[in-house]
Amino acid sequence: MLVSASEMLKKAKAGHYAVGQFNINNLEWTKSVLLTAQELQSPVILGVSEGAGKYMTGFKTVAAMVKAMDEELGITVPVALHLDHGSYEGCYKCIKAGFTSIMFDGSHYPIEENIAKTQELVAVAHNLGLSIEAEVGSIGGEEDGVVGAGECADPDECKAIADLGVDMLAAGIGNIHGKYPENWAGLSFDTLDAIQQKTGEMPLVLHGGTGIPEDMIKKAISLGVAKINVNTECQLSFAAATREYIEAGKDQQGKGFDPRKLLAPGAEAIKATVKEKMELFGSIGKAFE
Ligand code: 13P
């Protein structure tokens, strides 16, 4: 069932677990995530970056596909369709297209401008029943053209943005999109702790979920993280399973070249990754609690 992310994240924060945001790229991705969430009775957030939206021919296509698939598959668990790292213009496009949640990433603007634009979008989103995520500090690395230096967020700036009434807040705490380098310093729990103390009930968002060790994920959840974004890890599992299928020559046996057969191992691999993350985040069985 398509819903805003507001309720599921309030419950997650109160219940000390996190809801996974899994970024989607196409029909197979979407189907794998939705079926896994339903099977495990977990709430879920489908993340769509601006690049992925463009790849899928536009946000209207994405919203129409997700809505129809949710219905045709009989998905009853709460599902939010969420714009990931949205620009100001991208947010309006997704609102119009029928998304149930948006992220405005104003982290590259001076804080006053981030506040002003976030404030405007909070009013528009809430008026239409959508949830909204904002960002302070930046996520290191690159995702679909969004590049961040990875500086840690200032807890006072986080409070200023949280006070605007956003539903979830992404704060840079040393996290990085994509694979973590060997010399990664780890998450800054001092920063996260200070942010949670300033922002209280606000569900915090941990971007860059790929490759963060389990103990750090658990500690982040204990310090107020209620949403964790995973993108690269599903891509890696999909690619590995597809490579294995082709390297075994299975695409050349019988009708193994049929796209429904060729893409099946990758789709199953995404399901396994999503399941593993939901177990780690503690969201299994929480759909209707
Ligand atoms: P990863 O690609 O590192 O999993 O990060 C995903 C993310 O944060 C989406 O915004």
Encoded amino acid at 176, one letter: I
Against a cut of 0.85, is the pTM above it? yes
- Tokens for 51? 């690049």
- 149 pLDDT band (50/70/90 cuts)? confident
Q: Is the CB of 133 under 6 A from ligand 1?
A: no
Per-domain boundaries in the chain: 6-281
The CB of 178 under 6 Å from ligand 1? The reply is yes
**Distance separating alpha carbons of residues 190 and 71, to the nearest angstrom:** 43
226 CA from centroid of ligand 1 (Å): 15
| Residue 150 near residue 138 (C-beta atoms within 8 A) | yes
Is 209 close to ligand 1, i.e. is its CB under 6 Å away? yes
Residue-wise pLDDT tens digits, 176-203: 999 999 989 899 999 999 999 999 999 9
Report helix, strand or coil for 2: strand
Structure tokens at 264: 């099946």
Pocket test for ligand 1, best of 230, 233, 234, 237 (most atoms within 8 A of CB): 230
pLDDT at 53: 98
Q: Measured from the CB, is residue 135 less than 6 Å from ligand 1?
A: no
Give the pLDDT mean for 206-233: 97
Asked whether 25 lines ligand 1 (CB < 6 A), one says no
Q: How far apart are CA 25 and CA 101, in angstroms?
A: 17
For residue 84, give the ligand 1 atom closest to its CA: 10
Range in 29-33, 114-118, 176-180, 282-286 with the lowest mean pLDDT: 176-180
Strand partners, 110: none
Q: Is 175 in the pocket of ligand 1 (CB under 6 A)?
A: no
Q: Find the angle CA(9)-CA(276)-CA(250) to the nearest 5 degrees.
A: 130
pLDDT digits (tens, 9 = 90+) for 36-87: 999 999 999 999 999 999 999 999 999 999 999 999 999 999 999 999 999 9
Residue whose CA is closest, atom 9 of ligand 1?
229
Q: Which CATH architecture has domain 6-281?
A: Alpha-Beta Barrel (3.20)
What's the N-to-C CA distance of the chain in angstroms?
Answer: 15
For residue 243, give Cα distances in angstroms to 29, 237, 265: 17, 10, 9
pLDDT tens for 249-279 read 999 999 999 999 999 999 999 999 999 999 9
Q: Point out the residues that are catalytic.
A: 84
42 — alpha (psi -120 to 50), left (phi > 0) or beta? beta
**Residue 30 reports pLDDT greater than 80:** yes
Q: Which two tokens stand for residue 280?
A: 């780690």
Q: For a substitution probing ligand 1, which of 87, 139, 210, 280 has the most ligand atoms within 8 Å of its CB?
A: 210
